[in-house]
């Protein structure tokens, strides 16, 4: 069955879907995006994702292409037309197409695009194996809290990680050694005190929806949660480490640079949170 994309009010074949060469997303990365998981036929944490979408738009003074209720209808239509029960919905909005000039155009309709594809969270064998991360210098701007499509530092970091045999890059500040987050994931450690530690949701990181969900699942499970900065050095001596995101869920980290995390196997707390998140994802439908 062929895939369908949504482009500015029309459902079109994915293969031929297009926007203008003068689109400001293409020319200036003047746009925002969201990725929402679909599990068992429903959107996972739909409303928090839409809240973050609204916030990103507002922070960049991008006008919404349509009201939330209409967006939610298009999202559901995309699921239906693409027959996706397990996968991801991608949505992107830009300041629209206009003659190339940096300041905001006086007249431009926002571009809104959605695509949808089948994809699964890492399966049991991948979770059991865990992955490696590579530390890279934090070179990004001071508005990482906005989910903007300007992802060049993230792309370069992730590419470098892959070339070093690692799955993800960990942005690490050279001034103080603090790990902010991954290229497309949030970073967590469990130091020897058994607490759960992750960088606070400041403008230095993207406040992940999965991060928030995992923190709440952890609190419900009685864990002590600390939202505080941690250094690469502290991470390397931690008992456990993992990353979170919409596409990875809770993914164990078993190696940081050249050093194994603890015994080089996923930690028990990480595996427990992975199971709790998987259960939430499959069952946690937010009422429409
Ligand atoms: C830089 C960055 N941090 C964290 C995340 C994780 O966010 P979420 O859990 O909302 O997918 C992402 C997701 O794309 C990201 O790009």
Residue written as token pair 């002590």: 224
Whether 104 and 135 map to the same domain: the answer is no
Select from 66, 89, 118 the last residue of a domain.
118
Task: Compute the distance between CA of residue 75 and CA of residue 115 in angstroms, rounded to an integer.
Answer: 9
Q: Which residues line ligand 1 (CB under 6 A)?
A: 35, 154, 181, 184-186, 206, 208-211, 244-246
CA–centroid distance, residue 183 to ligand 1 (Å):
8
Residue with CA at minimum distance from ligand 1 atom 7: 208
The two structure tokens encoding residue 235 = 């991470």
Q: Give the pLDDT confidence score for residue 234 in this predicted structure.
A: 98
Q: Sign of torsion, CA 209 213 218 219?
A: positive
Residues contacting residue 12 through CB under 8 Å, at least 6 positions apart? 4, 5, 6
pLDDT at 285 over 70: no
Q: What angle do CA 154, 90, 207 make, to 5 degrees?
A: 50
- Write out pLDDT tens, residues 90-128: 999 999 999 999 999 999 999 999 999 999 999 999 999
Q: Considering 147, 158, 160, 236, which one is annotated as catalytic?
A: 147
pLDDT at 287 over 50: no
| Beta strands 178-182; 111-118: pairing state | unpaired
Q: Quickly list DSSP for 108-128.
A: -PPEEEEEEEE-----HHHHH
Residues contacting residue 227 through CB under 8 Å, at least 6 positions apart? 197, 198, 199, 200, 201, 215
Q: What is the mean pLDDT of residues 35-45?
A: 97
Residue written as token pair 């690469």: 232
Whether 251 and 274 map to the same domain: the answer is yes
The answer to whether 147 is a known catalytic residue is: yes
Confidence band of 1 (pLDDT split at 50, 70, 90):
low
Confidence band of 288 (pLDDT split at 50, 70, 90):
very low
Using the atom order of ligand 1, give the atom closest to the CA of residue 52: 10
pTM for the full predicted model: 0.97
Residue with CA at minimum distance from ligand 1 atom 4: 185
Whether 167 and 231 map to the same domain: the answer is yes
Q: What angle do CA 171, 158, 256 make, to 5 degrees?
A: 55
Task: Compute the distance between CA of residue 80 and CA of residue 274 in angstroms, rounded to an integer.
Answer: 28
Looking at the structure of the chain, the number of domains it has is: 2
Arithmetic mean of pLDDT over the chain: 97
Whether 140 and 258 map to the same domain: the answer is yes
Pick from 144, 209, 245, 247 the residue to mutate for probing ligand 1's pocket: most ligand atoms within 8 Å of its CB: 245
Percent of the chain predicted with pLDDT > 90:
98
CA–centroid distance, residue 284 to ligand 1 (Å):
20
Distances (CA, A) of 24 to 6, 35, 152, 229: 18, 20, 16, 35
Whether 177 and 277 map to the same domain: the answer is yes
Distances (CA, A) of 97 to 47, 150, 214: 28, 17, 38
Select from 89, 118, 147 the last residue of a domain.
118
CA–centroid distance, residue 208 to ligand 1 (Å):
5
Distances (CA, A) of 268 to 20, 190, 263: 50, 10, 12
Q: Give the pLDDT confidence score for residue 196 in this predicted structure.
A: 98
Q: Give the pLDDT confidence score for residue 227 in this predicted structure.
A: 98
Q: Is 41 helix (H, G, I), strand (E, B) or coil?
A: coil
Whether 130 and 103 map to the same domain: the answer is no
CATH of the domain at 112: 3.30.470.10
172 lies in some domain: yes
- Write out pLDDT tens, residues 46-89: 999 999 999 999 999 999 999 999 999 999 999 999 999 999 99
Pick from 136, 186, 244 the residue to mutate for probing ligand 1's pocket: most ligand atoms within 8 Å of its CB: 186
pLDDT at 40 over 90: yes
Q: Which domain holds residue 161?
A: 124-283
Q: How many CB atoms lie within 10 A of CB 222?
A: 6
The two structure tokens encoding residue 192 = 């020897």
202 lies in some domain: yes
CATH of the domain at 131: 3.20.10.10
Q: Give the pLDDT confidence score for residue 286 in this predicted structure.
A: 39
Using the atom order of ligand 1, give the atom closest to the CA of residue 35: 11
CA–centroid distance, residue 144 to ligand 1 (Å):
10
CA–centroid distance, residue 98 to ligand 1 (Å):
29
Q: What is the mean pLDDT of residues 133-151?
A: 98
Task: Compute the distance between CA of residue 133 and CA of residue 11 in angstroms, rounded to an integer.
Answer: 39
Whether 134 and 106 map to the same domain: the answer is no
- Write out pLDDT tens, residues 168-202: 999 999 999 999 999 999 999 999 999 999 999 99
- Write out pLDDT tens, residues 143-173: 999 999 999 999 999 999 999 999 999 999 9
Residue with CA at minimum distance from ligand 1 atom 1: 184
Q: What is the 3-state secondary structure (H, E, C) of 176-220?
A: CCEEEEECCCEEEEECCCCCEEECCCCCCCCCCHHHHHHHHHHHH
Using the atom order of ligand 1, give the atom closest to the CA of residue 154: 1
Select from 118, 135, 150 the last residue of a domain.
118
Residue with CA at minimum distance from ligand 1 atom 2: 184
CA–centroid distance, residue 142 to ligand 1 (Å):
16
């Amino acid at each position: 069955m062929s895939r369908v994309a949504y482009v500015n009010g029309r459902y079109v074949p994915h293969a031929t879907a297009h926007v203008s060469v003068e689109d400001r997303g293409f020319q200036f990365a003047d746009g925002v995006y969201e990725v929402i998981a679909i599990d068992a036929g429903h959107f996972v944490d739909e409303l928090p994702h839409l809240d973050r979408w609204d916030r990103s738009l507002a922070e960049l003074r991008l006008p919404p292409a349509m009201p939330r209720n209409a967006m939610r209808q298009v999202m559901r239509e995309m699921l239906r037309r693409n027959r996706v029960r397990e996968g991801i919905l991608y949505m992107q909005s830009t300041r629209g197409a206009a003659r190339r000039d940096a300041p905001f155009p006086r007249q431009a309709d926002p571009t809104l695009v959605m695509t949808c594809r089948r994809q699964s969270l890492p399966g049991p064998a991948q979770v059991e194996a865990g992955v490696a991360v590579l530390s890279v210098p934090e070179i990004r701007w001071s508005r990482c809290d906005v989910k903007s499509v300007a992802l060049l530092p993230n792309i370069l970091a992730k590419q470098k990680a892959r070339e070093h045999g690692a799955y993800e890059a960990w942005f690490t500040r050279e001034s103080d050694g603090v790990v902010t987050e991954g290229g497309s994931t949030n970073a967590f450690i469990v130091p020897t005190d058994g607490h759960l530690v992750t960088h606070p949701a400041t403008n230095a990181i993207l406040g992940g929806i999965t991060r928030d969900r995992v923190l709440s699942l952890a609190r419900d499970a009685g864990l002590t949660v600390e939202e505080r900065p941690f250094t690469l050095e502290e991470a390397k001596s931690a008992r456990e480490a993992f990353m979170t995101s919409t596409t990875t869920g809770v993914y164990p980290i078993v190696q940081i640079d050249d050093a194994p995390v603890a015994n080089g196997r996923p930690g028990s707390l990480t595996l427990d949170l992975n199971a709790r998140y998987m259960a939430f994802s499959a069952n946690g439908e937010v009422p429409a």
